Amino acid sequence: MNRTFLSVLAACSLLVACGTKNGPAAPKAVFIIVDGIAADVIESTPTPNLDNIAGIGGYARAYVGGEAGGESESPTVSAVGYNSLLTGTWANKHNVYDNDVDSPNYAYWDIFRIAKAHNPSLRTAIFSTWTDNRTKLLGDGLAEAGGSKLDYYADGYELDTARFPHDDAGEYIRMIDEVVVAEAAQHIRENGPDLSWVYLEHTDWIAHEVGDSSEQTLAVRGVDEQIGKIWAAINARQSAHDEDWLIVVTTDHGRDAETGKDHGGQSERERTTWIVTNSNRLNAHFDEIPGIVDILPSIATHLNISIPAPVQAQLDGQSFID
């Protein structure tokens, strides 16, 4: 990542609203998972939109995988990482150890369930290139997972092989990511949901195919452009409405050190990830290599959501936002 930050004047022009004479601005949050981008890759690739966001808030190296060698050690696998973000817990609690998501433990509440329990009128949305994020990880609509928690969703595209014929080059995944981003940007701009999740997959697909390469760099630059479209929609909302938007961008795992094609183990590169956010309320924990489990309590802090005491007691993370 190009670490050149915005000037103070430019940053101030993009800072979220602190409130008006009518009271504090309505808090909103969107978190984005861009799959499988190691920290050293994001740091060495030109990413002007992520730089823009980080220039307002911050960039930090982070980690996944729980405590290496301990009870909470978790595979550095995609669905495992997603669910650690969603529940603020490691795999020994949420019970997702691979991408099959056979028997998630819904006793550990996800961020959408927490939000709806706090205030059922909060509007929620997911925009995803992988349908299992909604149907399995969140278990949306399942009684044991808290029932219906999503007011809007845009997914299922990978199941539509007529519209997106599957090809060996993975172009269909890139095309789906583009549709997901367009849906997210439009819905955010027009409706301003209180809590949203955007998931994009193409960067992981490319890395599995070619590893550390110019093709991977190109894919990362492409996802930065996509994030820029969502960021533009957020800024349009803030220009037109009295809203205080938080954006958190992260990844779910790093990659192996030998080729960059694989992941799943506990090597330093596989465990090392990153977080970009526009929050100007970052505390010291953000600079202490936060974990992916710290994102849930941070979002809850921004949204002023009260987490039920039994749920709070099970969290493995802590907020990096004051």
Bridge partners (DSSP) of residue 128 are: 199
Between the alpha carbon of residue 162 and those of residues 127, 158, 159, the distances in Å are 20, 10, 9
Mean pLDDT of 67-89: 98
Helices (H), 90-146: 91-94, 111-118, 132
Show the CA angle centred on residue 72, arms to residues 71 and 77, nearest 5°. Answer: 130
Question: Strand runs (DSSP E) across the chain, as ranges?
Answer: 26-34, 58-63, 124-128, 152-154, 195-200, 243-250, 272-277
Does the pLDDT of residue 13 top 80, yes or no?
no
Whether pLDDT at 5 is above 90? no
Backbone angles phi, psi at 177, to 5 degrees: -55, -40
User: Do strands 195-200 and 124-128 pair parallel, antiparallel, or not at all (unpaired)?
Assistant: parallel
Spell out the residues 6+ positions from residue 58 whose beta carbon is closer than 8 angstroms to its own.
Answer: 276, 277, 279, 282, 286
Please give the average per-residue pLDDT across 14-24, as a whole number. 51
Looking at residue 24, its pLDDT comes to 86
pLDDT at position 16, please? Answer: 40
CA-closest candidate to residue 155, choices 136, 179, 129:
129
Task: Quickly state the pLDDT bin for 19 (edges 50, 70, 90).
Answer: very low
CB atoms within 10 A of CB 68: 14
pLDDT of residue 1: 56
* pLDDT in the model for residue 162: 97
Q: What is the pTM of this model?
A: 0.93
- C-alpha closest to that of 249 among 268, 230, 222: 230
Phi, psi angles (nearest 5°) of residue 295: -70, -40
Average pLDDT over residues 296-320: 98
**Tokens in use for 235?**
């800024």
* pLDDT range class, residue 22, cuts 50, 70, 90: low
Strand partners, 33: 199, 250
Q: Which two tokens stand for residue 19?
A: 């409130």
Share of the chain above pLDDT 90, in %: 92
Catalogue all structural domains in the chain, each as residue range(s) with its CATH number.
28-314 (3.40.720.10)
